[in-house]
C-alpha cells in the first residue's frame, strides 16, 4: 500500500491539470478514465478497460503519451499498482499514487470501477488529491532488502520459540537459568542433548563465561525427560535457525553495499568542529536507541532526499507519529495517529524502547512523559523525536547528534519556583509547611 501523503498546494484559479488520466486498478485489469480539453469549455472524457499484463500496460502507456496526458493518478490497491506505476514512469509519464481512503466517492452514490475511475480523474484535475511518497528505484530496491531481512528475522524468532516449547515439553528448564539459550553455552548444551548426552552435570559443564557460576542451577534445569523425539524436532528447528542466520548475514552484506552506493560519501575536509567527518549511517547510530540495523531500516523507508519532506514535522506526519486534532465548536480533542508505514514504525518503536532505558536526554524525556501518559503514547512521542533528529542528520551532512544529557530538565528548572509549586500542593492538601534550609 502506498505510504502516506505529502500535501500539494491548491491553485485558486481552478483546474490544475488540463490532461489527466486515472486508473482504478484490480488484480488482472484496470479501468482507465482520461479527461482532456474538448470543444469549448467542455471536457472530452473516455473510459476504457485495460489488462494488467506487461504488454497491455505498455500499450496503455503509448495511448496516454499520444493523448498528451500530463498526470496519471492511481489508487494504492494492495501491490497491484506497482506494475502500472513502474512501467508508466519508465515511459516518461508523471505518476501519482494516492491513498484509497482519501478518494472515496460521495456516500450513497453507485460504486463501480468505471465511476471510481471517473471520480478519481475529476479529483486529480482539480488539484484535490495528495500524492503518496514513492521513493526512487534504488531506494525501493534497498527497501526490498531490509524488509526481507525483517521477515527472515521474524521467522528465525518463531523457530527459536518452537525450540523452547519442545524443551518445556521435555521438562528442560534451560531458559529459566540462561538469558539466551542460543548463546555459546546454550547452543553447546542443545547440540549435546541432540547427540545423546543426558547427564545433567555433564551438560552443565559445557557452560562458558559467566554461565559457569550457575552450574548448580543448570544441572537442576537440565534434568528432564528428553528423548529421541525431542532431539529430532530440535535438530529440525536448529537447522532452520542456522539457515536463516546465513541468509540474514547475506542480506546484511547486500544492504551494506546498497547503502554505500546510495548514501553520499563524507567530504574529506575537516568538519566545522574540527573532527573527522563520519558517514551518514555512523552519524545516525549516535542517536540513543539507534543501532546499525535500525539506521539501515529507517533510511530504507525514508530515503536520502529530505526535500520530499519540507520539515521534520512533515516527515513525522507522513510516518503517522502525530495525533490528529478534532475541533468542533468549542470542543477540541485528539484522535489516534492513524496507520503509517508499518516497517518504519517498527524500527522507530524498537529504537524508542531502547532510548527510554538509556541515560540520555531521550531517556529522561521518556521517563517524564510516562508519569502522566500511557506507556505506548510516551514511546510514540520518543519515536517522533528520533525521526525528527534523523531528518536533520540526513538533510545536513555536517550535522552531528549532541545529547543534551539526562539532567537537561533539572538544569532548566528554577529551584525557587519548583519549591513554591510543591508548597502550594501540600497546602491545598491541608498541610502547614515550614521550610528549613539544608546545611551546605
User: 225 and 279 share a domain?
Assistant: no
Count structural domains, the chain. Answer: 3
- Is 269 within a domain? no
Q: Which cell is 379 given?
A: 514511546
Beta bridge partners of 326: 333
* β pairing state of 324-328 and 331-335: antiparallel
Same domain, 294 and 432: yes
The CATH number covering residue 10 comes to 3.30.420.10
Residue 265 in domain: no
- The Cβ-side half-sphere exposure at 256, using a 13 Å CA radius, reads 9
Answer yes or no: do 214 and 256 share one domain. Answer: yes
Give CA–CA dist 222/203, Å, rounded: 7
278 shares its domain with 335: yes
Same domain, 112 and 145: no
Q: Are 227 and 169 in contact (CB under 8 A)?
A: no
Unique residue bearing C-alpha cell 497491455: 56
Last-in-domain residue among 134, 149, 183? 134
Residue with cell 532452520: 240
Residues 77 and 160 in one domain: no
For residues 17 and 31, what is the distance between their CA atoms, to the nearest angstrom?
20
Query: In the numeric block, which cell numbers belong to residue 241?
Result: 535457525
Given a contact cutoff of 8 angstroms between Cβ atoms, the answer to whether 227 and 170 are in contact is yes
Helix 292-302 vs helix 228-262: angle between axes, to the nearest 10 degrees? Answer: 60
pTM of the model: 0.83
Nearest to 4 by CA among 86, 102, 83: 102
Q: What is the pLDDT of residue 11?
A: 40
Cell numbers representing residue 404 in the block: 543534551
pLDDT at 440: 53
> 115 and 218 share a domain?
no
* Average pLDDT per block of 10 residues along the chain, 440 residues long: 40 64 89 85 85 90 89 86 90 87 73 85 85 89 95 96 94 90 92 92 90 90 92 95 96 93 76 73 92 94 90 90 77 73 92 93 93 91 94 90 88 84 90 80
Neighbour-count burial for 103-134, b at 16+ CB within 10 Å, e otherwise: beeeeeeeeebbbbbbbbbbbbbebebebbbb
Q: DSSP character for 80?
A: T
In terms of domains, do 238 and 284 share one?
Answer: no
**Domain edge (last residue) among 134, 159, 178:** 134
CA distances to 9, 199, 286 from 184, rounded to whole Å, are 58, 19, 29
**CATH number where 177 lies:** 1.10.287
Strand 95-98 and strand 71-75: the pairing is parallel
Domain span at residue 365 reads 274-440
Torsion of CA 289, 291, 293, 299, to 10 degrees: 70
Considering the domain architecture, whether residues 8 and 122 belong to the same structural domain is answered as yes
Task: Indicate if the alpha-carbon torsion angle 206, 172, 240, 181 is positive or negative.
Answer: negative
Q: What is the 3-state secondary structure (H, E, C) of 214-283?
A: HHHHHHHHCCCCCCHHHHHHHHHHHHHHHHHHHHHHHHHHHHHHHHHHHCCCCCCCCCCCCCCCCCHHHH
Q: Smallest Cα–Cα separation from 355: which of 285, 284, 287, 280?
A: 287
Together in a domain, 122 and 205: no
The C-alpha cell at 153 is 528475522
124: which strand partners? none
CB distance 263 to 304 below 8 Å: yes
pLDDT of residue 15: 53
DSSP-derived secondary structure letter, 10: P
Q: Which of 66, 49, 70 is nearest to 127 (CA)?
A: 70
Cell (9 digits) for 218? 543448570
Residue-level pLDDT at 325: 74
In eight-state DSSP terms, residue 210 is G
Q: Are residues 187 and 121 in the same domain?
A: no
The answer to the question of residue 267 being in a domain is no
| Residue 380 to residue 386: CA distance in whole angstroms | 10
- For 322, the grid coordinates are 502525530
Identify the pLDDT of residue 1: 41
Report whether 131 contacts 26 (CB < 8 A): no
Do residues 361 and 213 share a domain? no
Residue 74's beta-bridge partner residues? 23, 97
Q: Is 87 exposed, middle or buried (0-12, 13-18, 19+ CB in 10 A)?
A: middle
Boundary (domain end) residue, out of 87, 106, 134:
134
Does 268 reside within a domain? no
Residue 400's Cα: distance from chain center in Å? 22
145 within some domain? yes
Residue 10, judged by CB atoms within 10 A of its CB (0-12, 13-18, 19+), counts as exposed
Amino acid at each position: 500500500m502506498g505510504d502516506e501523503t505529502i500535501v500539494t498546494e491548491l491553485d485558486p484559479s481552478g483546474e490544475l491539470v488540463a490532461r489527466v488520466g486515472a486508473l482504478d486498478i484490480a488484480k488482472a485489469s484496470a479501468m482507465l478514465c482520461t479527461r482532456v480539453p474538448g470543444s469549448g469549455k467542455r471536457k472530452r472524457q473516455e473510459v476504457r478497460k485495460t489488462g494488467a499484463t506487461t504488454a497491455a500496460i505498455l500499450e496503455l502507456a503509448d495511448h496516454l503519451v499520444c493523448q498528451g496526458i500530463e498526470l496519471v493518478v492511481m489508487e494504492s490497491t494492495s501491490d497491484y499498482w506497482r506494475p502500472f506505476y513502474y512501467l508508466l514512469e519508465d515511459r516518461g509519464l508523471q505518476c501519482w499514487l494516492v491513498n484509497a481512503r482519501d478518494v472515496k466517492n460521495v456516500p450513497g452514490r453507485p460504486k463501480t470501477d468505471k465511476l471510481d475511475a471517473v471520480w478519481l480523474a475529476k479529483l486529480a484535475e482539480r488539484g484535490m488529491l495528495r500524492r503518496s511518497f514513492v521513493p526512487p528505484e534504488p531506494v525501493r530496491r534497498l527497501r526490498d532488502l531490509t524488509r526481507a531481512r525483517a521477515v527472515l528475522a521474524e521467522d528465525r524468532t518463531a523457530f527459536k520459540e518452537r525450540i523452547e516449547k519442545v524443551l518445556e515439553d521435555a521438562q528442560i528448564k534451560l531458559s529459566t537459568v540462561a538469558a539466551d539459550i542460543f548463546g555459546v553455552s546454550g547452543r553447546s548444551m542443545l547440540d549435546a542433548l541432540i547427540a545423546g548426552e543426558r547427564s545433567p552435570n555433564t551438560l552443565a559443564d559445557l557452560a562458558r563465561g559467566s554461565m559457569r557460576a550457575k552450574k548448580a542451577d543448570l544441572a537442576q534445569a537440565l534434568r528432564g525427560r528428553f528423548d529421541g523425539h525431542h532431539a529430532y524436532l530440535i535438530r529440525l528447528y536448529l537447522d532452520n535457525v542456522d539457515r536463516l542466520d546465513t541468509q540474514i548475514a547475506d542480506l546484511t552484506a547486500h544492504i551494506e553495499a546498497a547503502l554505500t552506493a546510495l548514501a553520499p560519501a563524507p567530504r574529506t575536509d575537516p568538519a566545522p568542529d574540527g573532527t573527522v567527518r563520519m558517514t551518514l549511517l555512523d552519524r545516525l547510530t549516535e542517536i540513543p536507541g539507534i543501532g546499525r540495523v535500525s539506521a539501515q531500516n529507517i533510511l530504507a523507508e525514508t530515503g536520502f532526499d529530505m526535500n520530499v519532506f519540507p520539515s521534520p514535522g512533515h516527515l513525522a506526519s507522513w510516518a503517522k507519529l502525530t495525533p490528529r486534532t478534532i475541533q468542533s465548536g468549542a470542543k477540541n480533542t485528539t484522535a489516534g495517529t492513524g496507520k503509517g508505514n508499518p516497517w518504519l514504525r517498527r524500527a522507530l518503536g524498537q529504537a524508542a524502547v531502547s532510548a527510554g532505558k538509556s541515560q540520555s536526554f531521550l531517556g529522561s524525556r521518556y521517563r517524564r512523559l510516562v508519569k502522566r501518559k500511557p506507556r505506548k503514547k510516551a514511546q510514540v512521542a520518543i519515536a517522533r523525536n528520533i525521526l525528527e533528529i534523523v531528518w536533520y542528520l540526513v538533510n545536513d551532512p555536517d550535522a552531528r547528534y549532541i545529547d543534551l544529557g539526562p539532567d537537561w530538565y533539572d538544569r532548566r528548572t528554577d529551584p525557587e519556583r519548583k519549591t513554591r509549586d510543591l508548597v502550594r500542593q501540600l497546602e491545598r492538601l491541608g498541610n502547614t509547611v515550614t521550610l528549613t534550609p539544608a546545611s551546605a
